[in-house]
Amino acid sequence: MFDLNKFIEDCDNRIDIKNNHKAVMDILSKAIENPNDLFKQFGEPTEGGIQKIYQSEKFSILNVVWTPNMAIMPHNHNMWAAIGVYSGREDNIFWRRLDNKEHGKIEAAGAKSLEKFDAVPLGGDIIHSVINPTNKFTSALHIYGGDFFEADKSSWEPDTLEEQQYKVEQSHKTFNEANKRAQM
């Protein structure tokens, strides 16, 4: 049975020992082994969104639900992350900055599809976008090596791929629009 308080405590203890994404990978992998336990804790998804589970300067834990056929713009976290998918699928496109950093543009550099039971680490300098290519909700636990909500981050405008300041309001808008499309 998934115990949220123990999960947070285990992450906290492990990050004290080694402050990076590798320190929590086994904890995250074990947590996503039993999706039904996570659904009991967080509920069956009925809409996409970002649910804050835990937030501190040291680390943050989110339950992220991607709406069917949803895409979110390229963005960075400026901190390490560990992502564990416990239902559905998310396709990540990884981006790299172009040599001309004056305009802050990026180009696609690779991709990775994450399915149920996949857990992956992301380094602090990763830029990625996420797509849920399925007609079902995708649910994932995310652990970040810092205060996700207070960190200075960037996003890239999807049409021009020009860098801009990340605004949480834009992410909320993207989730709301995806939720509206899913209800049609």
Reduce the secondary structure of 38-67 to three states and give it as a string. HHHHHCCCCCCEEEEEEECCCCEEEEEEEC
CATH number at residue 122: 2.60.120.10
Domain that includes residue 117, residue range: 4-183
Burial (Cβ within 10 Å: 0-12, 13-18, ≥19) of residue 153: middle
Question: What is the pLDDT at residue 23?
Answer: 87
Distance CA 104, CA 164 (A): 8
pLDDT at residue 101 is higher than 80: no
Question: What is the pLDDT at residue 22?
Answer: 84
pLDDT at residue 102 is higher than 60: no
Q: How many domains is the chain partitioned into structurally?
A: 1
Question: What is the pLDDT at residue 100?
Answer: 64
| Residue among 134, 154, 168 at smallest CA distance from 62 | 168
* Reported pTM: 0.93
